[in-house]
Amino acid sequence: MVNSKIPLDYQVLKPKAQSDGPSPAAFFLHGYGANELDLLSLSNYFPSDIFIISLRAPIPISGGYCWYPIHLSPAGAVPDQPDLDSLTQSMALLDQSRDALIDLCDLNPKKIGLLGFSQGTILSLSTLCTNPSIYSWCVGLNGYLPRSFSNSPTLEFLNKSVFLSAGINDELIPLSKVETTRNKLVELGCNVTFSSHPGGHYIGENVFTELQQWLPKHIY
């Protein structure tokens, strides 16, 4: 979906159940090489009164889009630090899209969260740590918080709800990176739930179950 007032293309899934007043919302941020349709099936795990808005990354690449370019190591691992200029630009486009969509879709600005996978998680967590006051929760699947964004003030993070997941045998983003992110977010004061599965760079079945149980307790 394209709107001249919104810098990122997007897809919207309207709530199946109406809420009183402006709606709570989740912004979905896909991984490298995917698009705004990729994560929509995760909407099935959300409460029925949530507005789902899935955004398309701004940089076209072969077969899809990305939030910033990456250059894998010879071993296939994602670099420790992303391309910060491109990531920062995508963060700004995300926030601009959020502001415009609040008006367009009548969203409750105090009940908006982020859900990302892989590169979308890196964007989500970096955005949360840059401006924690405008997002009320975050789900980060198979991704991590870059060091450049880990020195945020702690006050606004007090009890901020975060769900993290990782594959124990993830070949792209090692479990240790996600564990380091978990520890840093706990240090900042976040209420972190951590889930792992024995596989690789994908969302494990047990993670779906745990996420479905977590969401209604933490996103309102």
Predicted pLDDT of residue 112: 97
Predicted pLDDT of residue 98: 97
Predicted pLDDT of residue 75: 66
What residue segments make up the domains of the chain, in order of their start? 10-218
**Distance in angstroms (rounded) separating the CA atoms of residues 60 and 49:** 32
Predicted pLDDT of residue 23: 94
pLDDT in tens, 30-78: 999 999 999 999 999 999 999 999 999 999 998 899 999 987 667 666 6
Predicted pLDDT of residue 76: 63
Predicted pLDDT of residue 78: 66
Predicted pLDDT of residue 151: 75
Residues of the chain scoring pLDDT < 50: none
pTM of the predicted model as reported, rounded to 2 decimal places: 0.94
Predicted pLDDT of residue 2: 66
**Distance in angstroms (rounded) separating the CA atoms of residues 111 and 45:** 17
Class of domain 10-218: alpha beta
Predicted pLDDT of residue 202: 96
Predicted pLDDT of residue 18: 79
